[in-house]
Structure formats: structure tokens, C-alpha cells
Chain A
Amino acid sequence: MASRKEPTTTPTAPMASTSSGATLDSPVKQIQIEGLVVLKIIKHYQEEGQGSEVVQGVLLGLVVEDRLEITNCFPFPQHTEDDADFDEVQYQMEMMRSLRHVNIDHLHVGWYQSTYYGSFVSRALLDSQFSYQHAIEESVVLVYDPIKTAQGSLSLKAYRLTPKLMEICKEKDFSAEGLKKAMIGFEHMFEEVPIVIKNSHLINVLLWELEDKSTVADKHELLNLSSSNHLEKSLQLLMDRVDDMSQDIVKYNTYSRNLSKQQQQKHQYTQRRQQENAQRQTRGEPPLPEEDISKMFKPPQPPPRMDTLLIAGQINNYCQNVKEFTSQNLGKLFMAEALQGHNS
């Protein structure tokens, strides 16, 4: 596959939050998606995503009690390099205006993104989700994993930022003290919201028709045993991330070592000053002026902790995926054993 590159731009959040009835205090407890949205997301990745691997789009829908209903979506064009005068906001506005004409829900409720082997915990995602959630209380990001889906089961997850993380992003305080205050661990960054797929009756009739007419048999990709390729790639990505993490840790260690060294130096300096002053007093000379210590010893820059948190979250995600994958494969292996047991 082509080399990965982080998305440089993401769908912009709406300028002003559109009125969606009463603003809810309670966050969203469940997401209800229409089959149409699922098919559109699949199609968008299939057609446009083979090159750069990350496709994005906007979700439209409405909020009902504590459920977020997603009824439609539209894709976002890739931000190509030779498209300098492309105005994303304008595209979005135009699209929503046009959709309003045909009675499609034009309320922004979130955005979707495809992911490569589950690596979506990044700064860009955090930033865009934050701006979305800031503007609209209930927005979510749908992460679609096409490779996992091709293996047999639709992989679509919905995430929101936890309230704690929202606070931190608002303060823009990413230092160690700030994170410590809020007691955020990497498990508390994103919360997953359960998804339910619901179709209208007419779509159900359509599905009956398709089943009738369609001559292609159901492919059982899920029961395919030979998937070590997938495992290899996931492990590769996991190792890369762990390397990043260890580099980060080394940086942090050097920082804390520098800090403590500096503290020692400051201490020594003050002591020396005091000694000298005491000596001068005994000699009857005026004491040396107390210099501003903080100006002399500039404190080292603390490394940003946010990246570490993101890397930890990403590693966690990879590990979860790997475990899920291995448990499925173990099941399949035992089934194969049973099949062989009957034959031999």
C-alpha cells in the first residue's frame, strides 16, 4: 500500500451551531445509523480511498432524546496538493444548502473517517473532534476500518471525547501538571458509543428484492484461516508506536534529570552566595546584590504530555485489535480441528 500520511485538513466544523431543538445536557448514549449511510461510507472508501487511505466525510442527522440518529452523509473531497484555491467551507455550505432542497436532514451531527489498521488516534483527529464537539454537543466521529470489514464483518465504531478531555482541550493546557490535575489516563480520552443499524420499511422491501435477484452467493470471508498477513501488519504498526513511546519516555527522563540537576545548581548557587555574603559582612564590605536566580537558570522546557497520551491511546487501540483478532483466529483454528477430527 502507499505510504501513510496524516490528514492535513479535516472537515471544518459549522460556523454556528444549527438549532436542533432543545440543547441536551446529557451526552449521547446510542447511535442509530441508517443502512444508506453505511453503504455510502463503504462506497466512498472503495472508490476514492485506495490511494491515500484516509477518506473523510460529514454525517447528517438529528438528535432524538439520548439517541443520535444519522440519516445521511456526504463525502469530502481529498485535499490534493494541486488544488490550492479549493474552499472547503464553501463546498460544505453548498452541499448542505442543496441537500436541504430535497428534504434531507441538513443538520451536522459529526464526521466520519476511514482508518488504516486501526491507527486513528492522532492529533488531527483530536483537534477536529474537539472543534465539532465544541460547536455541537452531541457530535461523534465514526471510524470505518475497511481492511477489517473486508475480512468479514463490518467494522464501524463511534467515538466521542470524554468531558474531561474536553475541559483540557478548552484550557489548551497540555502540560504535565494540567493533565495530572484532570487525572486523565489514556483510557479516558475517547468513549465509544454503541451503534445500532436501523432501516425503514421501504429499504427492507428493497433488501428482499436484492436477495431475490442477486445471484452471488454469500462469501464467507470471516471464516478464512489465512490471515497472518493482517496480524503481521498490525504488529508492525504496534512496534513502531512502541518505539515512538520509548523515545518519548527517554525525552521525559532527560527532562526530569535536567530539571533536578538545575535544582541542585540553583541550590549550590544560593548557598555560595550566602557564604560569600557572610564573609563580606565579616570583612565589612557591602553584600553582593541578590541576583535574580530564575533569570540565571532558565528552567528547561517540559516536554508536551499530550503526544505521549495519544501514543499510549493508540498503542492501547492496537493491542485491543490484536487481541480481538487472535481470539477470532483461535476459534477458527478449533473449528478446523473439529473438521479434521471427523475426517481422520
Chain B
Amino acid sequence: MAVHGPVVKIHPVVLASIADSYERRNEGASRVIGTLLGTVDKHSVEVTNCFSVPHNESEDEVAVDMEFAKNMYDLHKKVSPTEVIIGWYATGFDITEHSVLIHEYYSREAVNPIHLTVDTALQSSKMNIRAYTSAQMGVPGKTVGVMFTPLSIKYIYYDTEKIGVGLLQRTRDAPNRAKGLTSDLCQVGGAANRVQDMLTTVLAYIEDVLSGKVQADNSVGRFLTDLVSKVPKISAEDFESMLNSNINDLLMVTYLSNLTQAQISLNEKLVVL
């Protein structure tokens, strides 16, 4: 009987934080744990922030610095009072017995905490990100155990976050993993290039369909008609006049700002005289 828990929505900030704290872990520690902060909805849990908590793990015992966790949560609360503890995370692939203990601690802090695992060791050559919630299992009255049931994960972004992540994606392709921030017309050029790439892909697909190499798909066809009809059909003179008036506006504003700049530098020279 599957337990359908809430959907876990994660912001990329959280994952980047987790990866970063894994990189900075102490010598000898095989994994890192920390607290997840966020908001709870009726059907979903949104994870917006996290911080790592120092802990010691050995074969038969685990020690977590609760004091630290409490302190950090208080500090974070001062900045964003709407965030609450909604669970905890751990790097590493499996769920160990220690996880159960830690989960128990967190169930005291939050109602039905979420447990997130991020496989930073890349065991299956991919970074597996999974979320679980705990459920009681076993025979009531006798041996009661805890089972971790998986939850579905969605990645959500704010608009600005999407743009930030987009920039980071482009950083990934650059040679020494570093990329400067472009400005001005270069950005428009870059965006235009990207659109052009996408159009080439679409064109290649259409060619394939026309020559019979690929089976035509109706839904894709509908999208294509949508795309083509998005370019509005305006009569040539109307468009000319619209374009010209817009260009005039922009040129006037450029002229005025140049004038203002010249004015203030003149003013400065006069004062210094």
C-alpha cells in the first residue's frame, strides 16, 4: 500500500548549499547532515533554505550538536521568520540505522519531517536526490520499526533564480569553469543565438519529417502552428510607423542621458575652477 506523501519542492539554493557543505566536511567524516528549512503547504513541502550541523558518526554511535542546530535556526529565523524546520538532509546514498535516530530527533522539532538524501559520492554515476518521509511499520504492540517511504521531488525556481541558474549552466560549459558577466548588447546577442539554435533544431526535425525519416507527431505539429502564428501579422506601413516611433523614443532618451552626463561633468569642472 503506497503512502502518498506531500510533494517535495526544492529550490536549487538548497542543493548548492548541500554540495558546498559536503566539500567542506571535516577530515574523516564520510557524510554531512543538516537541517532543512522551508514552508509547509497542504499537499506540498517547499524547501527554501538549509544549514549544515556538525555531527560525529562512528560504528555504533552518532552524536549531533543539537545546541548548534537550535542556535542556527534562531539566527535564521531573524532573517526569514516564515521559514520553519521541515526536515533534515544527509549526503550519501543509503539510509543507515543512524538516520533513524537522527530522524527521531527531528520529529521532535517538526511535524512529519522530510529526509533528503543527496548522493554526492556519485555512486551510480549520477547525483541521486531522493526525499523520504517516515512511516511506522511492523506489528503494533510488538516490534515496531520505521520505514522510509520515498516522495516525489520537483524543482521549482523563482523567476530570478531561473535566470541565475541559467547563467550558472553557461558557466559550466566555459573552459576553466569560470565565466564573466557580459553586459549590454552582448546579452541580447547571446539570447538571440540561443533562440537561433533552438530554431535550427526545430527545422532539422521538420526536414526529417518531410523526408519521411521521422514519423509526424500531431501534438508537435500543433505546437509548430502555434509558433508560426505567434508572429503577428501587421501591415507594412503600420509596422514601419510603430518601429520608427519606438526607435525615435529610444534615441531621444539616449540623447538626453548623454546631455545630462555632459552637463554634470561641466558643472564639476566649473566648481573646481
A residues whose Cβ falls under 8 Å from a Cβ of B: 32, 34-36, 38-40, 42-48, 71-72, 75-77, 86, 91, 94-95, 98, 101-104, 146, 149-150, 152-154, 156, 176, 179-180, 183, 185-187, 194-211, 213-214, 216, 218-223, 228, 231, 235, 238, 242, 245, 249, 252, 305, 308, 312, 315-316, 318-319, 322-324, 326-333, 335-337, 339-340, 343-344
**Supplied contacts A42-B161, A315-B264, A340-B239, 5 more A-B pairs, CB within 8 Å:** A35-B16, A39-B168, A43-B13, A48-B80, A197-B167
Residues on the B chain within 8 Å of A98, using CB: 68, 71-72, 75
**B181, B235, B258: most-surrounded residue (chain A CB, <10 A):** B181
Q: Contact check: which of A44, A152, A316 meets B264 at CB < 8 Å?
A: A316
Answer whether residue B4 sits at the interface, using C-beta atoms and an 8 A cutoff. Answer: no
- Closest CB-CB distance, A32 to chain B, in whole Å? 7
A207 and B168 form a contact (CB under 8 A) = yes
B80 and A101 form a contact (CB under 8 A) = no
Residues on the A chain within 8 Å of B180, using CB: 194-197
Q: What CA separation (Å) do A45 and B53 show in the bound complex? A: 25
Known contacts A42-B158, A152-B187; is A183 also within 8 Å of B231 by CB?
Answer: no
Residues on the A chain within 8 Å of B192, using CB: 223, 335
B188 and A223 form a contact (CB under 8 A) = yes
Q: Contact check: which of B12, B182, B243, B257 meets A323 at CB < 8 Å?
A: B257
Q: Can you report 15 A-B residue pairs in the complex whose CB atoms are below 8 A from each other?
A: A43-B11, A47-B80, A48-B79, A91-B75, A104-B21, A104-B24, A149-B160, A197-B179, A216-B157, A220-B195, A223-B188, A223-B195, A238-B257, A312-B267, A328-B188
Residues on the A chain within 8 Å of B184, using CB: 324, 327-328
Residues on the B chain within 8 Å of A156, using CB: 181
Residues on the A chain within 8 Å of B75, using CB: 91, 94-95, 98
- Closest CB-CB distance, B221 to chain A, in whole Å? 18
Which residue of chain A has the shortest Cβ distance to B161 in the bound complex?
A: A42
Known contacts A91-B75, A196-B179; is A204 also within 8 Å of B155 by CB?
Answer: no
Q: What CA separation (Å) do A331 and B49 show in the bound complex? A: 39
Which residue of chain A has the shortest Cβ distance to B253 in the bound complex?
A: A326
B160 and A146 form a contact (CB under 8 A) = yes
**B157, B189, B257: most-surrounded residue (chain A CB, <10 A):** B257
- Closest CB-CB distance, A23 to chain B, in whole Å? 25
Q: What CA separation (Å) do A95 and B48 show in the bound complex? A: 19
- Closest CB-CB distance, B252 to chain A, in whole Å? 9
Stretch at the interface among B108-116, B122-130, B139-147: B122-130
Residues on the B chain within 8 Å of A245, using CB: 264, 267
Known contacts A35-B171, A198-B171, A206-B16; is A102 also within 8 Å of B257 by CB?
Answer: no
Q: What CA separation (Å) do A327 and B165 show in the bound complex? A: 25
Residues on the A chain within 8 Å of B22, using CB: 202
Known contacts A98-B68, A326-B250; is A332 also within 8 Å of B188 by CB?
Answer: yes
Which residue of chain B has the shortest Cβ distance to A43 in the bound complex?
A: B13
Binary A-proximity of B187-205 (CB < 8 A = 1, otherwise 0): 1110110110000000000
- Closest CB-CB distance, A262 to chain B, in whole Å? 19
- Closest CB-CB distance, B39 to chain A, in whole Å? 10
Q: What CA separation (Å) do A342 and B235 show in the bound complex? A: 13
Residues on the B chain within 8 Å of A206, using CB: 12, 15-16, 19, 127
B residues whose Cβ falls under 8 Å from a Cβ of A: 11-13, 15-17, 19-26, 48-49, 51-54, 65, 68, 71-72, 75, 78-80, 82, 120, 122, 126-127, 129, 153, 155, 157-169, 171-172, 176-185, 187-189, 191-192, 194-195, 231, 233-236, 239, 243, 246-247, 249-251, 253-254, 257-258, 260-261, 264-265, 267-268, 271-272
- Chain A interface main SS type: helix
Residues on the A chain within 8 Å of B80, using CB: 47-48, 75
Residues on the A chain within 8 Å of B48, using CB: 43, 47
Known contacts A221-B159, A323-B257, A332-B188; is A91 also within 8 Å of B16 by CB?
Answer: no
- Closest CB-CB distance, B12 to chain A, in whole Å? 6
B54 and A102 form a contact (CB under 8 A) = yes
- Closest CB-CB distance, A178 to chain B, in whole Å? 12
Q: What CA separation (Å) do A308 and B21 show in the bound complex? A: 46
Which residue of chain B has the shortest Cβ distance to A39 in the bound complex?
A: B13
B254 and A326 form a contact (CB under 8 A) = yes
A154 and B164 form a contact (CB under 8 A) = yes
Q: What CA separation (Å) do A55 and B265 show in the bound complex? A: 32
- Closest CB-CB distance, B234 to chain A, in whole Å? 7
**A42, A209, A231, A329: most-surrounded residue (chain B CB, <10 A):** A42
